[in-house]
């Protein structure tokens, strides 16, 4: 039986694992810094794959999670943030030309959703909403056991919906998006404003004021830090209520660094969700939980994608083209 | 070849058509008032179907569009507005027990989306957002050639997302939903408020102040009526921008009575959508248009559902159970 290669291309490192047909334990797992003076990110990626390539050449499919908007049908990365020159980059073609096996690509947040669905907190569910809350807010959607990608692979930008019209500027240049009020930097920004207003807190203004610092201070009982987490959780909970009406999932999974803040974030989120839901039918058997795979979600999603794509290829040989 | 029966159960009338395997021209099409002292809505529905039943008994499938939240998997109507006693009503079982053929159910807005996708403005598209704007605002979503129904059939309530936090009360009891600011009654309500403020207009306050009256006055150049349509269009356009980020469709179709207001509604909608979209990739090849099937959309969707379900039943006989 053939093996699989899963890749996670991140802003700071690229990871590549060689996996057996089943199970999550890699035969080999290697990593390399994404940026290095010696070579381009694409060269580094290709060298990393070559370094774990099996001697018997038996690879059924390579699955890759990459940042930024991607068209999974064409295999083109529209624009990868922090990856110089990766604009309309035909990554699938590069890898297929070099390795002569089918390659499947996906956006990192979408594939994190797929990872949680196949191997993590969402196992057994058919309709899943995944939100990752860290520097930005991204998402991934499983509908009826299918990853939702949209007409050009740009779907599930769940952080870029307006929750506070006219509100703070978002990283994307529009105002009042969920990301602009509830991401890690948005939390730090609001805490900074409150400190400037004279609110008493153990938090210190400046570059050390991060979501992680806020989370630690909240755990130690700092009331401003607790309020910051509650505010972020409340905005996310309201957005989740909208997502229940839109998708009617059986599970909502919160991933990303900020989700590690625990109940001080999740409890206000749950309350806001309940307060803003249309009918109890939406929450009756709903699970709202944190992600199970942590930083592995993207890599596990790439593995799930490779394994599912290889199944499709067997029944319909044209899909790999 | 077997024929199909399509049904549209509305608040005022029930329609049922007998259709050939292909094409949209019914062999027979009958209607009956939904409510009448002589019998219950279910009895009237069953009699209507019996009245068009073919002599050769050759029906492959019955498809039915019904109001309110429905679980298409179980065939149960959770709660149909204006239909006394239709709470957790096992409509599919009633019809299958009586007619001994497979029955497929769907929510009317979802099936209108399916009708427009198969036979109307959305033909040939794989990813479609349909919004119906009339007394309420409902929706239907096609993702990768599949109707999105969610875990319990409650998905695509596209009018019940918060667009104005703390805004006007919605029919559902929550505040600031799209339906509460942009539906026909919301338009009438805002016009009434403006008249009370002393704004000069040809519109008259009172029960005659409907979306239709506003639309007529706007066409005749009334500036308040024009502003009312622009306000509604702007709210809908902002919500569509969010739906582009969420679904990345290739077409957005606006149906329902209010959509007949034409460019005075659609132009502000298009402008607001463009102003609130994250990246030009979402609108590059996007079509924003009005529905093609009018009041027939639900019936055509029921027909499309029956025909697609019957295909599934052939390949997998267990689905009809």
Please indicate, yes or no, whether residues B164 and B284 belong to a single structural domain of this protein. yes
Spatial strand order of the sheet with A87-89 comes to A70-71, A76-79, A87-89
Please give the Cα distance from B181 to A278 (Å, whole number).
16
How far the first Cα of chain A sits from its last, in Å, is 22
Share of chain B above pLDDT 90, in %: 88
The answer on pLDDT for A238 being more than 60 is: yes
Query: What number is the ipTM of this complex?
Result: 0.94
Please indicate, yes or no, whether residues B165 and B249 belong to a single structural domain of this protein. yes
CB B195 within 8 A of CB B213: no
Strand partners, A146: A143
Please indicate, yes or no, whether residues B220 and B95 belong to a single structural domain of this protein. no
- Each residue of A17-43: pLDDT tens digit? 999 999 999 999 999 999 899 999 999
Closest chain B residue to A238, measured at CA? B162
- Give pLDDT, residue B316: 43
Strand A28-33 to strand A13-19: parallel, antiparallel, or no bridges (unpaired)? antiparallel
**Residue A320 banded pLDDT, cuts 50, 70, 90:** very low
Kindly list the residues from chain B whose CB atom is less than 8 angstroms away from the CB atom of residue A249. 150-151
B116 in a domain, yes or no? no
Chain A: closest CA distance from residue B24 (Å): 28
A18 contact partners, CB below 8 Å, separation of at least 6 = A3, A4, A5, A26, A27, A28, A29, A52, A53, A54
Does B131 or A73 have the greater pLDDT score?
A: B131
Please answer yes or no on whether A281 and B154 come within 8 Å at the CB atom: yes
- Give pLDDT, residue B320: 35
Kindly list the residues from chain A whose CB atom is less than 8 angstroms away from the CB atom of residue B165. 163-165, 238
The answer on pLDDT for B275 being more than 70 is: yes
- Each residue of B136-153: pLDDT tens digit? 999 999 999 999 999 999
**Residue B11 banded pLDDT, cuts 50, 70, 90:** confident
A163 in a domain, yes or no? yes
Please indicate, yes or no, whether residues A211 and A268 belong to a single structural domain of this protein. yes
- Each residue of B175-192: pLDDT tens digit? 999 999 999 999 999 999
The answer on pLDDT for A184 being more than 70 is: yes
Kindly list the residues from chain A whose CB atom is less than 8 angstroms away from the CB atom of residue B238. 162, 165
Over range B61-84, report the average pLDDT. 88
Kindly list the residues from chain A whose CB atom is less than 8 angstroms away from the CB atom of residue B160. 242, 245, 278
Please indicate, yes or no, whether residues B232 and B164 belong to a single structural domain of this protein. yes
**Residue A191 banded pLDDT, cuts 50, 70, 90:** very high
Look at chain A and report how many structural domains it folds into: 2
- Each residue of A67-107: pLDDT tens digit? 888 998 899 998 887 777 888 999 999 999 999 999 999 99
Strand B287-290 to strand A70-71: parallel, antiparallel, or no bridges (unpaired)? unpaired
Please indicate, yes or no, whether residues B215 and B183 belong to a single structural domain of this protein. yes
Using DSSP's 3-state secondary structure scheme, residue A299 falls into helix
Kindly list the residues from chain B whose CB atom is less than 8 angstroms away from the CB atom of residue A125. 151
Please indicate, yes or no, whether residues B185 and B129 belong to a single structural domain of this protein. yes
Chain B: closest CA distance from residue A34 (Å): 26
Kindly list the residues from chain B whose CB atom is less than 8 angstroms away from the CB atom of residue A274. none
Please indicate, yes or no, whether residues B194 and B88 belong to a single structural domain of this protein. no
Interface test with A, best of B246, B281, B288 (most A CBs within 10 A): B246
Please answer yes or no on whether A165 and B164 come within 8 Å at the CB atom: yes
**Residue A250 banded pLDDT, cuts 50, 70, 90:** very high
Please indicate, yes or no, whether residues A156 and A276 belong to a single structural domain of this protein. yes
Using DSSP's 3-state secondary structure scheme, residue B89 falls into strand
Q: H or E element: which one contains A96?
A: helix A91-99
Over range B247-255, report the average pLDDT. 98
Nearest alpha-carbon partner for B15 in A289, B26, A263, A269: B26
Chain A: closest CA distance from residue B250 (Å): 6
Please answer yes or no on whether A162 and B248 come within 8 Å at the CB atom: no
Over range B50-67, report the average pLDDT. 95
Please answer yes or no on whether A151 and B248 come within 8 Å at the CB atom: yes
CATH code (residue A219): 3.30.420.40
The answer on pLDDT for B68 being more than 90 is: no
- Give pLDDT, residue B189: 96
Please indicate, yes or no, whether residues B33 and B49 belong to a single structural domain of this protein. yes
CB–CB contacts below 8 A, A to B: 122
Please indicate, yes or no, whether residues A30 and A91 belong to a single structural domain of this protein. yes
Other beta carbons within 10 Å of A255: 30
B281-296 residues labelled b (16+ CB within 10 A) or e (exposed): bbbeebebbbbbbeeb
- Give pLDDT, residue A219: 96
A114 in a domain, yes or no? no
Strand partners, B8: B15, B65
Using DSSP's 3-state secondary structure scheme, residue B64 falls into strand
- Give pLDDT, residue A113: 98
Chain B: closest CA distance from residue A174 (Å): 7
Please answer yes or no on whether A165 and B161 come within 8 Å at the CB atom: no
A115 in a domain, yes or no? no
- Each residue of A172-182: pLDDT tens digit? 999 999 999 99
Closest chain B residue to A247, measured at CA? B155
The answer on pLDDT for B292 being more than 80 is: yes
**Residue B81 banded pLDDT, cuts 50, 70, 90:** confident
Q: Where is average pLDDT lowest: A231-235, A270-274, B76-80, B114-118?
A: B76-80
Q: In Å, how far are A11, A192, A274, B321 from A219, measured between CA atoms? A: 29, 18, 24, 52
Strand partners, B3: B59
B118 in a domain, yes or no? no
Share of chain A above pLDDT 90, in %: 88
Please answer yes or no on whether A246 and B278 come within 8 Å at the CB atom: no
Please answer yes or no on whether A245 and B160 come within 8 Å at the CB atom: yes
Kindly list the residues from chain B whose CB atom is less than 8 angstroms away from the CB atom of residue A144. 146, 148-149
Instruction: Supply the range of the domain harboring residue A247.
Output: 121-291
The answer on pLDDT for B319 being more than 80 is: no
A197 in a domain, yes or no? yes
Q: In Å, how far are B23, B180, B236 from B169, measured between CA atoms? A: 43, 6, 17
Using DSSP's 3-state secondary structure scheme, residue B215 falls into helix
Please indicate, yes or no, whether residues A74 and A140 belong to a single structural domain of this protein. no
Closest chain A residue to B277, measured at CA? A174
Using DSSP's 3-state secondary structure scheme, residue B59 falls into strand
Please answer yes or no on whether B246 and A155 come within 8 Å at the CB atom: yes
- Give pLDDT, residue B311: 67
Please give the Cα distance from B8 to B14 (Å, whole number).
6
Kindly list the residues from chain B whose CB atom is less than 8 angstroms away from the CB atom of residue A122. none
B281 in a domain, yes or no? yes
Using DSSP's 3-state secondary structure scheme, residue B186 falls into helix
CB B129 within 8 A of CB B249: yes
- Give pLDDT, residue B313: 55
Please answer yes or no on whether A278 and B249 come within 8 Å at the CB atom: no
* Mean per-residue pLDDT over chain A, rounded: 94
* Mean per-residue pLDDT over chain B, rounded: 94
């Amino acid at each position: 039986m053939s093996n699989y290669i899963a890749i996670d291309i991140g802003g700071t490192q690229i990871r590549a694992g060689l996996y057996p047909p089943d199970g999550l334990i890699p035969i080999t797992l290697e990593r390399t810094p994404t940026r290095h003076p010696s070579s381009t990110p694409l060269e580094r990626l290709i060298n990393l794959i070559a370094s774990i390539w099996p001697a018997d050449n038996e690879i059924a499919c390579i699955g890759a999670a990459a940042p930024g908007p991607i068209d999974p049908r064409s295999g083109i990365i529209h624009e990868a943030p922090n990856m110089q020159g990766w604009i309309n980059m035909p990554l699938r073609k590069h890898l297929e030309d070099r390795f002569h096996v089918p390659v499947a690509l996906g956006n990192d947040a979408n594939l994190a959703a797929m990872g949680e669905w196949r191997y993590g907190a969402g196992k057994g569910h058919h309709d899943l909403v995944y939100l990752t809350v860290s520097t930005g807010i991204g998402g991934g959607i499983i509908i009826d056991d299918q990853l939702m990608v949209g007409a050009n692979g740009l779907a599930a930008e769940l952080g870029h919906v307006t929750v506070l019209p006219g509100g703070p500027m978002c990283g994307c240049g529009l105002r009042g998006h969920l990301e602009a009020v509830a991401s890690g930097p948005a939390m730090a920004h609001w805490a900074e404003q409150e400190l400037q207003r004279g609110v008493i807190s153990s938090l210190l203004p400046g570059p050390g004021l991060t979501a992680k610092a806020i989370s630690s201070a909240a755990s130690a009982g700092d009331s401003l830090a607790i309020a910051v987490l509650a505010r972020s959780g409340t905005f996310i909970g309201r957005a989740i209520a909208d997502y229940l009406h839109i998708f009617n999932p059986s599970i909502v999974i919160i991933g990303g660094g900020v989700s590690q803040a625990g109940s001080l974030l999740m409890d206000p989120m749950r309350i806001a969700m309940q307060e803003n839901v249309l009918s109890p039918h939406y929450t009756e058997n709903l699970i709202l939980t944190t992600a199970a795979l942590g930083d592995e979600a993207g890599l596990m999603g790439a593995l799930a994608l490779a394994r599912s794509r290889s199944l499709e290829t067997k029944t319909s040989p044209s899909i790999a083209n």
